[in-house]
């Protein structure tokens, strides 16, 4: 069974689970009947052929091991595939930079934008098991180790240094890039795909902050009054693109059934989070706190305050 078909079967199983879970808390939401919605006096007839005392111990063991084993294989396969994607992404931008097809600063920013968003977009191919988020977090963890080893010059991966640093100094890997992958690990393990908080935080760090740099460097002649290193063009583009990417990723996960949102209120809530993250990013605090920490953390605090999870 391919990864995609596993993801689809995952999704169907998950949708059934989330709809039944949802109508337990929102009886108004249409959904399949379940014992929770009916008074205890109503009993559901045992399924035809069901054993009077439930499935046998042996068949239960076969079921658990079977589903557990399938989930392990799916998560291991998904981890390997996403790891390969990570290496391919860095290799691609290294090749483009080596051939002088793109500038090193643009290469770094495109890796910044694409890495986290593509990583997050891959979350649905992992299983519905408890361990899935830990398998997924192995990908940024491996890249974290890669950054540390190369940042300390214990090894030399020229491609990584060229596509991820500004001036080609390996020690740069121990700052922005390292904080970036640590935030990916945090969001994958703490929030995963069940919470809008992690999704919005990564969308603002990867999409918003990344695009602010690209637009700001090119069109940022009008500097901010309180921070002459940043510009109106950069900040406005961070707010607009961060908002749009956040909404896009929230729609992606909610359409797969991982959570349900009331879009009439979600739009202004996400706009508020984007505004706060944009203001935080514009502050002259780079020497104190890297944007790859301040932007996602401010987004997490605002999103937790608004969504409560």
Ligand X SMILES: Nc1ccn([C@@H]2O[C@H](COP(=O)(O)OP(=O)(O)O)[C@@H](O)[C@H]2O)c(=O)n1
CA-based radius of gyration for the chain: 23
- Told to check if 218 binds ligand X by CB under 6 A, we report no
State which of residues 6, 71, 78, 122 lies at the interface with ligand LRRJ3J73 (CB under 6 A): 122
What count of residues does the chain have?
309
Site residues for ligand LRRJ3J73, window 174-203 (CB under 6 A)?
A: 176-177, 180-181, 184
Secondary structure (3-state) at 45: coil
- Told to check if 220 binds ligand X by CB under 6 A, we report yes
CA angle (201, 165, 155) in 5-degree steps: 110
Percent helix, strand and coil across the chain, each rounded to 5? 75, 0, 25
- Told to check if 108 binds ligand LRRJ3J73 by CB under 6 A, we report yes
- Told to check if 172 binds ligand X by CB under 6 A, we report no
181 binds, among ligand X, ligand LRRJ3J73, none (CB under 5 to 8 A by kind): ligand LRRJ3J73
Q: How far is the CB of 150 from ligand X (least distance, A)?
A: 18
Beta strands 227-231 and 223-224 are antiparallel
Q: What is the DSSP letter of 220?
A: -
- 47: left (phi > 0), else alpha (psi -120 to 50), else beta? beta
Query: CB-hemisphere CA count at 13 Å for 255?
Result: 7
Q: How far is the CB of 293 from ligand LRRJ3J73 (least distance, A)?
A: 10
Question: Total binding residues for ligand LRRJ3J73 by CB under 6 A?
Answer: 23
User: Which residues are CB-neighbours of 37 under 8 A, at least 6 positions away?
Assistant: 23, 24, 27
Which is closer to ligand X, CB of 195 or CB of 274?
274
Cβ neighbourhood burial of 213 (10 Å; 0-12, 13-18, 19+): buried
Which is closer to ligand X, CB of 197 or CB of 231?
231
For 11, 17, 51, 147, the CA distances from 34, given in Å and listed in that order, are: 20, 11, 20, 50
- Told to check if 216 binds ligand X by CB under 6 A, we report yes
Site residues for ligand LRRJ3J73, window 17-46 (CB under 6 A)?
A: none
- Told to check if 110 binds ligand X by CB under 6 A, we report no
Cβ neighbourhood burial of 246 (10 Å; 0-12, 13-18, 19+): buried
State which of residues 15, 24, 70, 217 lies at the interface with ligand X (CB under 6 A): 217
- Told to check if 143 binds ligand LRRJ3J73 by CB under 6 A, we report yes
- Told to check if 146 binds ligand X by CB under 6 A, we report no
184 binds, among ligand LRRJ3J73, ligand X, none (CB under 5 to 8 A by kind): ligand LRRJ3J73
State which of residues 79, 97, 132, 140 lies at the interface with ligand LRRJ3J73 (CB under 6 A): 140
Q: How far is the CB of 229 from ligand X (least distance, A)?
A: 5
CA dist., res. 30 & res. 276, Å (int): 36
- What string marks each residue from 226 to 255 as x (binds ligand X by CB under 6 A) or -? ---xxx--xx--x-----------------
CA torsion sign for 52, 54, 56, 59 is positive
Residues that bind ligand X (CB under 6 A): 176, 209, 212-213, 216-217, 220, 229-231, 234-235, 238, 281-282, 286, 291
Residues that bind ligand LRRJ3J73 (CB under 6 A): 82, 85-86, 89-90, 108, 111-112, 115, 118-119, 122, 139-140, 143, 164, 176-177, 180-181, 184, 291-292
């Amino acid at each position: 069974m391919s990864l995609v078909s596993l993801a689809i079967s995952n999704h169907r199983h998950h949708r059934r689970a989330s709809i039944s879970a949802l109508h337990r808390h929102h009886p108004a939401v249409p959904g399949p009947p379940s014992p929770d919605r009916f008074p205890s006096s109503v009993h559901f007839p045992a399924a035809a052929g069901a054993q009077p005392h439930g499935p046998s111990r042996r068949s239960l063991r076969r079921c658990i091991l079977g589903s557990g084993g399938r989930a392990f294989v799916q998560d291991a396969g998904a981890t390997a595939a996403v790891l390969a994607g990570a290496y391919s992404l860095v290799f691609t931008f290294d090749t483009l930079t080596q051939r002088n097809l793109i500038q090193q600063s643009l290469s770094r920013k495109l890796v910044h934008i694409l890495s986290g968003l593509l990583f997050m977009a891959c979350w649905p191919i992992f299983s519905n098991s408890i361990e899935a988020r830990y398998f997924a977090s192995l990908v940024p963890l491996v890249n974290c180790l890669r950054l540390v080893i190369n940042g300390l010059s214990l090894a030399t991966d020229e491609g990584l240094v060229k596509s991820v640093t500004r001036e080609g100094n390996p020690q740069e890997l121990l700052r922005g890039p390292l904080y970036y992958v640590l935030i990916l690990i945090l969001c994958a393990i703490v929030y995963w795909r069940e919470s809008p908080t992690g999704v919005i935080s990564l969308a603002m760090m990867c999409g918003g902050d990344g695009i602010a740099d690209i637009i700001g460097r090119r069109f940022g002649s009008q500097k901010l009054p309180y921070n002459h290193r940043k510009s109106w063009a950069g900040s406005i583009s961070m707010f607009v693109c961060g908002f749009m990417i956040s909404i896009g990723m929230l729609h992606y996960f909610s359409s797969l059934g991982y959570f349900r949102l009331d879009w009439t209120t979600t739009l202004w809530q996400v706009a508020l989070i984007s505004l706060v993250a944009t203001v935080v990013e514009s502050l002259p605090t780079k020497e104190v706190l890297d944007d790859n920490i301040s932007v996602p953390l401010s987004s997490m605090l605002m999103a937790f305050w608004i969504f409560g999870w």
